[in-house]
Amino acid sequence: MHSKSNLLALFNLAKSHLSKELLNEKYAHKVEKLHAFLPQLNMVNYELRLTNDNSRVDANIMVWKYEAPILLEWLSDKQESFYQELHKWVNDWIDPNKSFHTLIQNIWIMFDLESDDANIPEPWIVFSFSEFKLGKEIYLRLIKDLASYFENDFNSDHWSILESIYSNLNPEQTVPAIGFQNRNINSIRLGVKAFHNLDEIISYLQKISWEGDFNFIQDKYAQIISKASYSMLSMTFNNQLLPELGIECYLDEKNNLEHSNILLNDLVNFQLCAKKKSLALSKWIGNEYSEQSFATVQTKIENEKLFIKRWLLEIKLLVNPDKVPSAKAYLLINQTSS
């Protein structure tokens, strides 16, 4: 049995590097409650809004295949149908005879915490595909199999959109992940990467008949996109491809502080990020060693120090029908044996 208190200890460490500008009391309480609920794992991701008038924070955890037994133990006493379906899928994931075993490298359990409801919301489950190229038909079959666990209404409209998304990829582009929520929400999320400039993004969106505002992207986000290491499109669809869009601008992990400061400076100049939040995000980035075991690291041995890494993964630029530009930052904290 793995102690949940260790994950709370990891959160307390993360919180010590998050100023009140990034994590206020309301959301600190929400995230702390979520950590007490979650299983014992190694990587946590926080989504932060960047303007002064939006303090929302969401939280997500990653599960690698070797951590699946921990997730199964945690899911074993869950009564909600969604978690029971996830339990069934995780059992299939660790079965070497199932395609999931080879084709899914990890999953993200993602919690949207915007509601004032005191209950922990049902999450999205995002499935990350293994990093090798397979034919379109294999991926489409895999997605259809995944949908059967979580989605009742995977219909011809869904299939047509997926066909278009895959058929218009160039040889260097992939769909790295796809996400489902519960059976009552008829939506699917997916990402497409990698784009290296705005022209590539516009061209791809035109090919898949996206009906959003291209001029908005050009006018509001062109400069920030140009400075990303690469970009990924985050899209949602149900019976149609929705106009809401996320453009995820990934940052250099090796030179994370330097690259982050470049993009944060632009975000401040374009009034997409408050200055105090920009400064606080820079202070988040760093490394440290800890004597305390926060989670179950696969190679952890007794009395071994843990290496704790904090970095800024990406800036997501949001495209919404209200045409109000906005952005989110994705902060990661990860622990490995030294």
Task: Return all residues near 266 (Cβ < 8 A) that are at least 6 apart.
Answer: 223, 224, 227
Q: Which of 195, 201, 309 is nearest to 256 (CA)?
A: 309
250-255: average pLDDT: 96
Residue 95 has a pLDDT of: 96
90-103: average pLDDT: 94
* pLDDT tens digits, one per residue of 136-194: 888 888 888 888 887 656 778 888 999 999 999 998 899 999 998 765 566 889 999 99
| pLDDT confidence band for 3 (50 / 70 / 90) | very low
* pLDDT tens digits, one per residue of 42-53: 888 999 999 999
CA torsion sign for 5, 59, 53, 282 is: positive
Q: Which of 244, 243, 236, 336 is nearest to 287 (CA)?
A: 336
* pLDDT tens digits, one per residue of 60-77: 999 999 999 999 999 999
Residue 322 has a pLDDT of: 86
| pLDDT confidence band for 293 (50 / 70 / 90) | low
Q: Which has more confidence, 119 or 95?
A: 95
Residue 2 has a pLDDT of: 41
Q: What is the distance between the alpha carbons of residues 282 and 267, in angstroms, rounded to a whole number? A: 13
Residue 61 has a pLDDT of: 92
Q: Give the 3-state secondary structure of residue 16.
A: coil
Q: Does the pLDDT value for residue 223 go beyond 90?
A: yes
CA angle 190/91/76 to nearest 5° reads 105
Q: Which of 234, 243, 241, 82 is nearest to 158 (CA)?
A: 241
Q: Which residue has the tokens 């208190």?
A: 5
Average pLDDT, the chain: 88
